[in-house]
Structure 1
């Protein structure tokens, strides 16, 4: 039974690269900037889907003309459309819709920048394709939106999850695992904040490649494990986690830069995104821990041979996926 479970686990790990990219979060973006009392500049940014813009369209309130923009143009990263709308009166309490979003898996962020009020960020989802523009937006709305974005980003970031999973497999002592997780949190919070605020700038492709390399390193440590002979990463896992988490934080910042931070609520948005990332990470760890507990109850790890077999297969599975990502990302430089 253990060999079957281990083989299925390895097969799933090997299929991950074909199922998803490392950072699946690529939201659409809609920016409304007020130019005068009745004039708004609109910027719509649509994700690329196989060389074409995602089949969604932002529609302004009925009091605005035009309600939608021209055909989007490819800017090398996404599809962008810019236009100016004349709105007969205030757009507060008016609905904005993203047509076609109900058929997608992505979200769309709406950033409003009025002349006489703080900017606010709202969020469209496939289940909520119409939003009513608040007359008096609150910081709590920003916090809730960015918390959910952070939570979803970590759960869609296969490379970050694979790093955490490899850490769980490698570190056997629960207290050391807690220390390593704490170090991971502190480190990536530092670089996430510095990069998101523009104080630290590192090119994205090398960061993504080194993140993949960090997973390769953990896979090698798993395969080199020997009972009674702890490696450095097993004795002091917090050092390894802190070092690599600095790079993972830059990866999180890359996703956050795609979204942007609301000018008037940068601290709240940054804190919420980071807390969301941690909440998603804890949810993943809880699910893995529960799965391992169930396997132990079923007697899957009773013999030493079964444990060694499962560890070896898992190590090779993690190493295969991470090497695929590493080669793919380096070749894309």
Structure 2
């Protein structure tokens, strides 16, 4: 019983949404949209921490003026400001830095154009708070940037990870897991591509609600004995994963729209981002399976409590995802 209590406590700590911690981990966002004639429109957004902007700031190249914009205003989630700069000689070969980022636990996404229509994306972190703008952006740089962003997005997207974790519990880590994950991958790849190319267009708010509802559904199914579960879910979880994967793909597309895609390299960026998402997903699944293997080696008798642990996990997942549903509905 002591082990079960500790397992429940661990699940609560991992899965319960803690708003303060979330704000401290929210990313910053910097966009430099080229206007031509060595002029850029700068959009700077910093996370909110206890009602004030996170203490990070943009450091533009010395050739740019003005290097600072007006005071940021709160937009409901973060603090944003916009201004126009003139950078004599352009941005190529210059350094862009986020001051104070090294003292945080977050990162900053930088989306910039050397010239109109030529989009580049960089992710700055506490260990790498600055970068030098490439003189000639190449395909390899685009591929690695979007691959990294895909990995980071899935590993930081707690709702997508909880969905994958629920699939693992539902299938029991058997051959059904392989088909369920494959179906989920195929489905979200379809809607991610469709949304990116403009074939599918849905507002993000209801999509996020349905994503949370998909996790509530899986949590409910996991809480039931196998003989009482929906016949389709129990026998063919891949079909369920495919259906919900279509919705999750729209969520991934929303994240991709936020950073933008280089118009001349849409297929390359889309492929790299999708591969990044799959890589992050496989890393997560592999970590769970290795952790479960180690736990079974350390606690040989744990299988006797598997049913109770699954029930605890289902209630923790269901409670958290139900909170997400209410929270996202309130944000409409």
* Mapping for residues 175-254 of structure 1, pairs under 5 Å: 175-226=175-226, 231-254=231-254
- Please state whether the residue corresponding to 1:47 is helix, strand or coil: strand
- Going from structure 1 to structure 2, the CA distance change for 1:162 and 1:91 (only over 3 Å counts) comes to closer
- Please state whether the residue corresponding to 1:46 is helix, strand or coil: strand
Contact residue 98 and residue 130 of structure 2 kept, 8 A: yes
- Going from structure 1 to structure 2, the CA distance change for 1:83 and 1:283 (only over 3 Å counts) comes to same
After superposing the two structures, state which structure 1 stretch, 174-183 or 41-50, moved more.
41-50
- Going from structure 1 to structure 2, the CA distance change for 1:13 and 1:257 (only over 3 Å counts) comes to same
After superposing the two structures, state which structure 1 stretch, 91-100 or 217-226, moved more.
91-100
- Going from structure 1 to structure 2, the CA distance change for 1:102 and 1:42 (only over 3 Å counts) comes to farther
Structure 2 counterpart of 1:62: 62
CA distance in 2, matches of 1:32, 1:203: 24
Of structures 1 and 2, the one scoring higher in RCO (CA 8 A, sep 6+) is 1
Structure 2 counterpart of 1:111: 112
Gaps of 5+ in 2: none
Contact residue 33 and residue 42 of structure 1 kept, 8 A: yes
Shift of 1:262: 1.9
* Mapping for residues 128-167 of structure 1, pairs under 5 Å: 128-167=128-167
- Please state whether the residue corresponding to 1:67 is helix, strand or coil: coil
TM-score, with structure 1 as normaliser: 0.88
After superposing the two structures, state which structure 1 stretch, 6-15 or 243-252, moved more.
6-15
Gaps of 5+ in 1: none
- Please state whether the residue corresponding to 2:302 is helix, strand or coil: coil
- C-alpha root-mean-square deviation of aligned residues, in Å? 2.6
CA distance in 2, matches of 1:63, 1:248: 43
Residues matched between the structures, number? 326
- Going from structure 1 to structure 2, the CA distance change for 1:114 and 1:332 (only over 3 Å counts) comes to closer
* Mapping for residues 15-94 of structure 1, pairs under 5 Å: 15-18=16-19, 26-36=27-37, 39-50=38-49, 52-74=52-74, 79-87=80-88, 89-94=89-94
CA distance in 2, matches of 1:207, 1:90: 39
1:75-119 deviation per Cα after TM superposition (whole angstroms, max 9, x unaligned): 6665131213141x354222222222223312231312326x944
TM-score, with structure 2 as normaliser: 0.88
